[in-house]
Amino acid sequence: MKIFSDERLINLGIISGTVSRESGNMREKENVINFFKTLNIPQEKILGLKQVHGDKIISLLTPQDLADYKAQEVHEADGWLLGLNNCGVMILTADCVPLYLWDSKGKFVSLCHCGWRGVAAGLPKKAAKLLLQHAGQDAELCAYIGPHINACCFEVQKDVADKFAPSSVIKRNGKLFVDLTADIMRQLKECGLKIENTKNPCSCECTCCNKETFFSYRRDHTKDVQMSFVYKL
């Protein structure tokens, strides 16, 4: 089992990462339970949501926020802002980008499911602004971009390409490709993120290219997914 993660979060007492397909399809509850058992994390501490490819973010900053979350059966959103300790959140992806954001002190951490629609709608920028709103505008913003479909495989039609900044669109052999990492970075830079505070070791880990390691909807057209999570100790 391989977990793609950032040691900077681990050093802050935040367990996190994106799992490989070796752990199984994470739409299946049993696989999720078994995975968290290996980390000695109570699975009931990990909260989920119904992803809708939008830009809504659920904030869990106080015990009341957690109580409000538990009072609802369905939560439609694509991002989290977590400030509570002894609590975790998760998202599912199968080509979309798992985006991790946090302040350098680790008081707040955000995890977002960034599909192309969410990126085009400005979810990365919205998440960064929300985090800084609580951590303080002078807080140092850090980011980790997890495994996702890279520009080598993400071919789109003109109507989709037109939703992105020209700098995020690549023209190759008469075809159009979107670089989701580039557009996410563009948005985060506008929020003050410094390049040296970003880690993207997955530039060669395209989910579509690497069948042995990742599930990919673009490649396989199935609903199998990998999971990304954060858990604050």
Domains, the chain, in order of start with CATH, read 3-232 (3.60.140.10)
Instruction: Look at residue 201 in the predicted model and tell me its pLDDT.
Output: 46
**pLDDT at residue 230 tops 90:** yes
Q: Distances in Å between the alpha carbon of 41 and those of 34, 89, 227?
A: 10, 12, 15
Closest to 83 measured CA to CA, from 98, 96, 97, 69: 69
Global confidence as pTM: 0.95
Confidence of residue 211 (pLDDT cuts 50, 70, 90): very high
| Distance of alpha carbon 171 from alpha carbon 102, whole angstroms | 33
**In sequence order, which ranges of the chain are alpha helices (DSSP H)?**
7-11, 29-38, 63-70, 116-120, 123-135, 158-161, 180-190, 217-220
> Taking a C-beta distance cutoff of 8 angstroms, is the pair 27, 223 a contact?
yes
pLDDT in tens, 91-132: 999 999 999 999 999 999 999 999 999 999 999 999 999 999
pLDDT in tens, 164-175: 999 999 999 999
Instruction: Look at residue 61 in the predicted model and tell me its pLDDT.
Output: 97
> Taking a C-beta distance cutoff of 8 angstroms, is the pair 127, 81 a contact?
yes
